[in-house]
Structure 1
Amino acid sequence: MLKRLVTGFVLATAVAATAAAQDLPKAQFKVIGLNSPTPVSIHDELPFWRKTLPEASKGAINADITPLDQMGIDDKTMLRLLKLGVMDFGAMDISKMAGDDPRFEACDLAGLTLDPDKARAACAAYRDVLDRQMQKNWNTRLLAFGGNTPQVFWCKDVIGGLDAFKGKKVRVFNNTMRDFLGGVGASAVSMAFAEVVPALSAGVVDCGVTGSLSGNTAGWTEVTKSIYPMSLGWSINVLAVNLDSWKRLDPKTQAFLLEQLKAYEDKMWQTIKTTTAEAENCNTGKQPCTMGKLAKTTIVPVKPEEAETHKKLVEGAVLAGWAKRCGAACAKEWNDTVGKALGLKAPTP
């Protein structure tokens, strides 16, 4: 009897879900996504829009998604384009928007968190602040957080350790990394992801910061000899929607999308754990390496005293630099959210 009841419940649930999906009105979205060579684009984002949503909606919801690098778009303009309604949905590295609002780098300050769970907790604590700012000033709604493998140093030659960065030119992609590099005497060079391989090859920069697996899948192993795995963050990305596009949707479609996006966010963070675990294997030619390419790169270990210097730089130069850009009220809000979640305190200038 119990077996029949359980079977009946499962069938009823499946039928209800199918009916709900079939009841959805047709919707076609324009989406601009993340850089195409990154693991999050390859394993999470493109499959979500091209396969998961159409299948889960029984064909009602479809999307035309193009990664931003394939459209020749500058990362820093993504939020502005979304505000203008150039696309319905857009995914972007949130820290690259910090020139418009320093809050956009607040939950992924350089070196702030050293494991995926803490990175997610920091951004979850700050989610309402970011969504508020996006709705208030950018006509967009924040829908999901994701990320990449730890942002580490990829160098043209074999680097000697943290002290060896003094005087070196290092590619970065946000202000908070610039604060960190200033603390070790390196010169920060802002550069788009797609420009880094030729810049490293030509010696325009000595090293570049990107994900421990993103660099692998984007071909950085072909122009670098070493990786210094000191983390400068997670390249946190957000998926957001133009508010006008969102408000036009049927309530059933909105509810369906929010449910799917919760699962999508969970999947992105699970992928980060897998790719982070595999990165060193892929970069040094070992198995298992299912999500990258086998390469022969020297991993230069971070010494205990260098890890202590890292901690001091994060709690000093990085937090102080960001707090100065954001202001006293902003820093206080950070202390009440991200700081509380991590047990840290930013100065309130």
Structure 2
Amino acid sequence: MNLKQTLAVVGVAVGMAAQPLFAADINWDMANEYNDTSIHAEGDKIFSAKLAELTGGAIKITHHFGGSIGFKSKDQLDAVGDGALPIADTYVGPLGGIDPVFLLPSLPFLAKTPEEARKLFEAARSGYEAVFADNNQKLLWASPWPPSGIWAKKPVGDLEALAGLKIRTYDANGTITLQEANAAPIQLSWADVVPQLSTGGVEAVLTSAEAGANAKFWEHLDHFTEVNYAMPLNMVHINLDTWDGLSPEHQEAVMAAAKAGEDHVWQSVVTRVGENYAQMQAEEMTVVTDVDPAFLAALLEAGQKAREEWLVKTGDVGKAILDAYMSN
């Protein structure tokens, strides 16, 4: 079921489940640094529509996509914890400086399929929940990005093509990995990527086909190389005081709506890559999928340092998460 179909089903049901106990009007601003056409924005819209249904319109969410409310992902944990925002959908890689557990989803070549990414999230869910709780927040759900590849003005299919390339990375793991591969990585928030492409500050971007298509990267770049580097996560989190101020019935409704948003994104990500590739090819981009296994092996080796550093930082907690992931 696509987004329009899902929203239509939700719309038909609006009001049917409403009960008199949902009387108060609650208005939340919800931040998301990514475009309103992104897969994560779709999940947010499903969440707010379902929440309106379940509460008879008592809880209303105003979405702020594309960073339009003024917060980048790296700022959103503090903003929600402090109450400047009641709720946000955040790419968690930039939060690795707050707690290294947030760098788990982007460990290179650890989770390369939706099934692996969800299994990895479930193995670490309690760890994420604990960090959010320590920062006066509650984790509602997580949603994946499709696998990361390399957007550039040329095919990037070997280490020679990567050498010295000014490439945007989205967190410390990517920076370490690409440094080890002799590229020239620059870590940037999403809102800064297109301006840097426009001025030549970066020549290439490590991100998914999804993210690049939403930002119309074909206006600056004409090749995408499928390396399936990682499937990073966005997480939706709510201020704990806001959560505690809800009635039990409203809390139940929030969690049910969160499940609807989460399920939609995890289901959609399975077919999203093919849809992205079709759109990119329609824009006359070259999509390279038959990547030399030797290049992928070299990138895997380059990522070893990032994996080792993550385990040092997380200690027994990180080892337990990886052991649980590998054993399932």
**Alignment match of 1:309 (pick from 298, 307, 311):** 298
Paired residue for 1:119?
Answer: 117
Instruction: Name the CA distance, whole Å, in 1 between partners of 2:57 and 2:37.
Output: 27
**1:22 CA drift (Å):** 4.4
For 2:318, give the aligned amino acid.
Answer: W
Does 2:322 match 1:334? no
Q: Deviations over 1:87-124 (max 9, x none)?
A: 11111001111122111112332332110110011011
Q: Following TM superposition, by how much is the alpha carbon of 1:169 offset from its aligned partner in structure 2, in angstroms?
A: 1.0
2:7 alignment counterpart:
none
- Number of equivalenced pairs: 314
Q: Is 1:298 matched with 2:286? A: yes
Alignment of 1:128-277 (within 5 A): 128-136=126-134, 138-277=135-274
Write the letter of the residue equivalent to 1:52.
Answer: K
Change in CA separation of 1:197 and 1:20 when aligned onto 2, cut-off 3 Å? closer
Larger Rg: 1
Deviation at 1:20, TM superposition (A): 5.6
Secondary structure in 1 aligned to 2:198?
helix
2:93 matched to which residue of 1?
95
Q: Is the Cα contact below 8 Å between 1:37 and 1:214 reproduced in 2?
A: no
Contact kept, 8 Å, 1:90 with 1:240, in 2: the verdict is: yes
CA distance in 2, matches of 1:166, 1:48: 43
Query: Superposition pairs for residues 37-116 of structure 1, below 5 Å?
Result: 37=36, 39-49=38-48, 51-67=49-65, 69-116=67-114
> In structure 2, what is the equivalent of residue 9 of structure 1?
none
Counterpart secondary structure, 2:67: helix
User: Counterpart of 2:35?
Assistant: 36
State the shift of 1:127 in Å: 0.6
Segment of structure 1 superposing worse, 265-274 or 195-204: 195-204
| Structure 1 range deviating more: 176-185 or 193-202 | 193-202
* Contact in 2 for aligned 1:108/1:119 (Cα 8 Å): no
- When the two structures are superposed, what TM-score results if normalisation uses the length of structure 2? 0.88
| Contact 1:36/1:70 (8 A) holds in 2 | no
Q: Could you say if the C-alpha distance between residues 319 and 215 of structure 1 is closer, same or farther in structure 2, counting changes exceeding 3 Å?
A: same
Q: SS state of the match for residue 168, structure 2?
A: strand
Q: Structure 1 residues 125 and 311, CA, compared in 2 at 3 Å: closer, same or farther?
A: same
Percent identity reads 23
Is the 1:37–1:218 contact (alpha carbons within 8 Å) kept by the matching residues of 2?
no
- Letter in structure 2 aligned against 1:331: G
Structure 2 portions without partners, runs of 5+: 1-12
Partner of 1:347: none
State the alpha-carbon separation in 2 of the partners of residues 32 and 191 from structure 1: 18
Displacement, 1:163?
A: 3.2
CA distance in 2, matches of 1:341, 1:24: 40
Q: Which has the higher mean CA deviation after the structures are superposed, 236-245 or 262-271?
A: 262-271
- CA contact 1:180–1:317 (8 Å) conserved in 2: yes
Higher mean alpha-carbon deviation, 25-34 vs 177-186, is at 25-34
Amino acid at match of 1:333: V
- Bigger drift between 258-267 and 61-70 goes to 61-70
Can you list the C-alpha shifts for 1:265-310, whole angstroms capped at 9, x where unaligned?
Answer: 111111211212322222112xxxxxxxxx1111233112222223
Shift of 1:39: 1.7
| Distance (whole Å) between structure 2 residues aligned to residue 246 and residue 278 of structure 1 | 36
SS at 2:112's partner residue?
A: coil
Distance 2:20 2:218 in 1: 46
* RMSD (CA atoms): 2.3
- TM-score by length of structure 1 reads 0.83
Counterpart contact for 2:148–2:207, Cα < 8 Å = yes
Any conservation in 2 of the 1:176–1:321 contact (CA below 8 Å)?
Answer: no
Question: For structure 1, which segment, 146-155 or 34-43, has the greater mean C-alpha deviation from structure 2 after superposition?
Answer: 34-43
1:72 is displaced (CA, Å) by 3.0
Asked if the contact 1:22/1:60 (under 8 Å) is kept, the reply is no
Shift of 1:247: 0.5
- Cα distance in 1, alignment partners of residues 130 and 169 from structure 2: 27
- Name the amino acid aligned to 2:127: V
Match of 1:7 in 2: none
Shift of the 337–132 alpha-carbon distance from structure 1 to 2, 3 Å rule, reads same
Higher mean Cα deviation, 202-211 or 21-30?
A: 21-30
Structure 1: runs of 5 or more not aligned: 1-14, 286-294, 345-349
- Check 1:271–1:58 CA distance in 2 against 1; reply closer, same or farther (3 A cut): same
Residue type matched to 1:57 in 2?
Answer: T
Q: Per-residue deviation at 1:335?
A: 2.0
2-structure distance, mates of 1:83, 1:61? 20
